[in-house]
Amino acid sequence: MTFHLPFSLPTFVCCLASFVLGNVSVVCSAKAANRPNVVLMMCDDLGWGDTGFNGNQIIQTPELDAMARDGTVLDHFYSVGPVCSPTRASFLTGRHYFRMGVWSANQGHLPEQEFTLARMLNSNGYATGHFGKWHLGTLSRTISAKGKKRRPDLHYAPPWERDYDASFVTESAVCTWDPGIGKRSRNNPYYENGVPTDENVLGCDSRVLMDRAVPFIEEAVERDQPFLSVIWFHAPHEDIQAGPEYLAQYEGHGEAAHYYGCITAVDDQIRRLRKKLTELGVADNTLLFFCSDNGPEGGVPKDRTKTRRAGSAGEFSGRKRSVLDGGVRVPALVHWPGEIPAGVRLDVPMSVMDLLPTVAAITGADAMPDRLLDGENVLPILKGDQLKREKSIPFRYGEFACLVRGKHKLIIQSRNDGSRDRLFDLQSDVTESNNLAAEHPDLVQFMRMELLGFLDSAKTSHAGQDYESVSFKPVDRWRPLPKKKSSSTQ
């Protein structure tokens, strides 16, 4: 029997292709709609008390304040690192930075063997982009922003070789105004998708980097592809300079006007971002997160002729480079319409290490099953279904190691000598001025053993035992705690 088509074979093939491709488009759209977009933002050296939603009466942050009202404020959120690079390593991996040998700012780099947020979501069909500061390795094999202090061949670890589809980044800090020129830009240009660029790198730095982040989002939405956008602002890290319109808003505040102004500039760019998400019709399907990488820079500058730095750690003791809460407890909020409650303030301890496992739960992506994670999935806490976290939060910086477990925080300075151990009740003693170690020796011993166990595990990770690559070698030796007591305190 012979069948006769009512149209030619080429026409039939074209119709079939159109039908199939049309349904593929529908499927892609459905997948994009079912998987939320993720935008993870972080400021540089912004103190806990530097935003309106945390009570600042001077600095104008109306967009962040609106997000706080419509989302959940994280009152007890830790950067984990008291300086830049360590926090950033933990932010992307869900692991403590000591596991990777990122001891401090501009030390170590993000190993290619690490399983990152970008790798996790990229393998799950997401477009991935990183914009602003990188600070997790050099962006060139021949030059570094730190000059001879940092070997670019040894620490080459750019985002375009760390699973990002798009990137617009600097290796290190730049001036918050005219980032493309000045001393901070020496050997430290913006790299756009791996290529140094001097195009559109003048004026407000927060605007400069958002000029790249917005088109990345537009293109992903046009493709019906869910996206991860990591936006790491340089503000308010030194060198701090605000543009004329922002200085005018803070007239009469002296040098502090630059600090205040560049924070408001960040807020303006976040407003721009949210407006664009609304215009694109994806605002309700986009999770927004915001925090800082550590506490504010020290109060008194090295040049004593300059005025005291303006950043505020709120009511907490310590600032940047301190393991006291003023150095590591940072402003943070999460906004996800219809999924995360609005108008809530949570006092449950959380940290940047919780981002990867939580984003995995939110997007349905698979975290690497056999990789040790120091963070946990806090989505049940954010939704109000769970009241407490399960894991303790470890810290390590210089001669100090710390552990936050529930409401208690332990700080130790020696592996073998506990005479200078400090235990604080963070609920009743936010300034960490009342050492309870002598009153609770059993709790100190329990937390101390947990902390030392973590450090032993981190040492094993640092040696490469978590990686499949047998050829991996750490670039630096492990940094143990002193065996004897130290006379220094923080």
| CATH of residue 194 | 3.40.720.10
Residue 12 lies inside a defined structural domain of this protein: no
Q: Is 432 buried (19+), middle (13-18) or exposed (0-12) by CB count in 10 A?
A: buried
pLDDT in tens, 51-110: 999 999 999 999 999 999 999 999 999 999 999 999 999 999 999 999 999 999 999 999
- C-alpha angle 42/46/52, rounded to 5°? 95
Task: Give the range of the structural domain holding residue 238, as residue numbers without chain letter.
Answer: 27-382
Give the H/E segment covering residue 241.
none
pTM higher than 0.85, yes or no? yes
The tokens describing 241, both together, are 């300079």
Distance in angstroms (rounded) separating the CA atoms of residues 445 and 303: 43
Identify the helix (H) or strand (E) that includes residue 10: helix 9-34
Asked if the structure places residue 89 within a domain, the reply is yes
| Coil/strand/helix, residue 274 | helix
> Which residues of the chain carry a pLDDT beneath 50?
1-32
Say how many domains are in the chain: 1
**CA dist., res. 66 & res. 142, Å (int):** 44
Distance CA 426, CA 249 (A): 36
Token duo for residue 158: 């750019």
**β-pairing, 286-292 with 350-351?**
unpaired
CB 96 within 8 A of CB 403: no
Is 144 among the domain residues? yes
Phi, psi of 228 (to 5 degrees): -115, 120
Task: Give the Cα separation of 481 and 490 in Å (integer).
Answer: 15
pLDDT of 195-227, one tens digit each? 999 999 999 999 999 999 999 999 999 999 999
Which pLDDT belongs to residue 457? 98
The SS3 assignment for 290 reads strand
Element spanning 29, H or E:
helix 9-34
Residue 451 lies in a domain: no
d(CA 324, CA 393) in angstroms, rounded, equals 14
Residue 426 domain-assigned?
Answer: no
User: What is the token pair recorded at 114?
Assistant: 């690490």
Q: Does residue 5 fall inside a structural domain?
A: no
Q: How far apart are CA 47 and CA 329, in angstroms?
A: 8
Is the four-CA dihedral 6, 8, 13, 18 of positive or negative sign? Answer: negative
Q: Which residue has the tokens 């329990």?
A: 446
- The verdict on residue 394 lying in a domain is no
* DSSP character string of 405-428: ETTEEEEES-SS--TT-EEEETTT
**What is the side-by-side strand order in the sheet with 344-346?**
195-197, 190-192, 166-170, 127-133, 227-232, 37-43, 286-292, 333-335, 72-74, 344-346
Domain assignment present for 174: yes
Measured distance CA(44)–CA(85) in Å, rounded: 11
From residue 214, alpha-carbon distances to 29, 223, 231, 319 in Å are 20, 14, 11, 33
* HEC letters along 342-357: CCEEECCCEEHHHHHH
Backbone angles phi, psi at 363, to 5 degrees: -95, -10
**The pLDDT of residue 305:** 55
